[in-house]
Structure 1
């Protein structure tokens, strides 16, 4: 690409091209959104500029900004307001999924720590993710979290529930003048719309509303694409895991309504979502799921080995999922990261199901 001869001629050619491109840009107006059809009529550039200015003006955060978020009270999630005098500068993301969502909004440089690295980082943001200090490969504790000197701790709600485990409670962090943002996707009765709520609110908190709105548009397009390829027949599934002692447990998924909401896009449903506690293989035989899923996470037992155990278990051969070998491996972060990667997970599952 870089030639050492006839530099003067090349510079002249480049200069000429710049003037030509500038002239074309002036006549064609400002760039259209990536999703806008190329067949639309080109509008006047002055009108476009005026519209863009209005959008920019409307998207600016005025501080102090108060948003309704969450804390726990007697074991239940309740509303708690968080007030920001300015955009946070030092953020600890308590899970990989929370950090990935920040990266998607253009906020990598605000993250001073991440933990719970249990899944694959998407290729398109892998280099950005490498810039973030890792506080712990697993779940991070309160002391290490505070040691990163954050002005905001954000992420999965379950890691804010206990004063002695996880990042500390919302109230204890707030008492130290550390703001908190619990992903609404990870609290009781969450739905897919809670993801859009989180993105919108993060856009306001960090004054990146334009980024947030654009990303929501992308995700909603993926949501529609998944709905369009949904199974015509309901597929009922059950989750399972390896206990590590030679036995296999059945995971009910109670409370994971965000995951259920996303799975329902392709008409696949958790049969056990209203069950309590860890369930037995006898229960699995009783409900007879059409499909079964197991999550893969860093440091965990190889799910393929666990699947081999199931397929070899004579007691379970009457189960449709086992009889028809409809057992699927899912990435832990995609589903239990409670972020935008839920779409990647459901898309991959739809591929596995040949939808």
Structure 2
């Protein structure tokens, strides 16, 4: 009897031992599988978040002019440019934001204030001209790339020269898409992305776009509940007020629309009179301040003293604002600073 009991006990213990081994093996297998999944996920995440690298040569579709019309033209880069001329202050600032200050061998058209956070870096760039730079001076800086405002590439004898003439000399060009017709804020993001690709700083470009889109969203959240219709004006320098239609400034219109502010004259052509301003009766008026220009404060005083315009809403309600030329006509990221400033002035 004792022998039978011992035999039965041995069988039970053996069964328990076998079950325990199987459970441990299953647990070990499950843990190993989980570790593999986690490792695979981390690898996948790392691959996804890894910044893209430019593989040269890289070809991008940019712009040139034909018979006064902007058309597409490819630019091929065998390597990242080393010597860059920015034909405007805004273009240089954008290069600085992307970490490319050391590539800049010249800048021109210094018509507005430089953001304080990049002022020291901006001072490192040789100034080719306080105003618009000419072709000879541009070429004299021996650039391998000229980047900037489209209007300065339109004429063979004025500005930096045409795209074709520069390309024929082996100098690449990058016309900011923000400065050609039908531009918008998306054009700015395109410029940043493409400059990032040209210079192989795609991670910098992506990070900066993310920063700007956050500012875009913040401005949209501040938008006026009712549309603010505005008109731009200037001083003709002869005692009269000039009215600016801004019909080529679709980039500015795109940015201003974030706060529900719209240019009433954007579809107008030709010379506009003071009578036209009275007719459209804008809610607000803006005038730009630029280096070397007439003091806008004096122009505003002149406008307010004009008896013809006293019934214009913007004049009656003193909704006349000064904007920085570089913020709006630099065709770069500082457009956000300009619109943010206007939103502050409007109390949005």
TM range (shorter): 0.7 to 0.9
Alignment match, 1:29: none
Alignment match, 1:348: 341
The CA distance in 1 between the partners of 2:301 and 2:49, in whole Å, is 55
1:174 counterpart (167, 176, 179): 167
1:284 counterpart (261, 277, 283): 277
Q: Aligned pair 1:158/2:151, yes or no?
A: yes
Q: Deviations over 1:248-298 (max 9, x none)?
A: 100000111000000000000000001112311111001100000000001
Q: Deviations over 1:211-261 (max 9, x none)?
A: 000000000000000000000000000000001111110000011100000
Q: Which runs of 5+ in 2 are unaligned?
A: 1-37
Distance 1:280 1:54, change over 3 A: same
Alignment match, 2:305: 312
The CA distance in 1 between the partners of 2:317 and 2:276, in whole Å, is 19
Q: Computing the radius of gyration over CA atoms, which structure comes out larger, 1 or 2?
A: 2
The 3-state SS of whatever aligns with 1:351 is helix
1:218 counterpart (211, 215, 222): 211
1:198 counterpart (191, 209, 215): 191
CA shift, 1:95, in A, is 0.2
Give the number of equivalent residue pairs.
311
The 5 A counterparts of 1:119-138 are 119-138=112-131
Give me the CA root mean square deviation: 1.4
Alignment match, 1:267: 260
Distance 1:223 1:127, change over 3 A: same
CA shift, 1:55, in A, is 3.4
Alignment match, 1:108: 101
The CA distance in 2 between the partners of 1:251 and 1:82, in whole Å, is 34
The 3-state SS of whatever aligns with 1:253 is coil
The CA distance in 1 between the partners of 2:90 and 2:40, in whole Å, is 41
CA shift, 1:74, in A, is 1.1
Q: Which has the higher helix share?
A: 2
The 3-state SS of whatever aligns with 2:216 is helix
The CA distance in 1 between the partners of 2:271 and 2:119, in whole Å, is 35
CA shift, 1:53, in A, is 5.7
Alignment match, 2:30: none
The CA distance in 1 between the partners of 2:212 and 2:222, in whole Å, is 16
The CA distance in 1 between the partners of 2:105 and 2:210, in whole Å, is 28
Alignment match, 1:28: none
Alignment match, 1:55: 49
The CA distance in 2 between the partners of 1:51 and 1:182, in whole Å, is 35
Alignment match, 1:237: 230
Alignment match, 2:288: 295
The 3-state SS of whatever aligns with 1:262 is helix
The CA distance in 2 between the partners of 1:71 and 1:344, in whole Å, is 29
- TM-score (ref. length: structure 2): 0.87
The 3-state SS of whatever aligns with 1:293 is strand
The CA distance in 1 between the partners of 2:298 and 2:43, in whole Å, is 59
- TM-score (ref. length: structure 1): 0.86
CA shift, 1:339, in A, is 0.4
The 3-state SS of whatever aligns with 1:304 is helix
CA shift, 1:65, in A, is 0.2
Q: Deviations over 1:113-150 (max 9, x none)?
A: 00000000000000000000000000000000000000
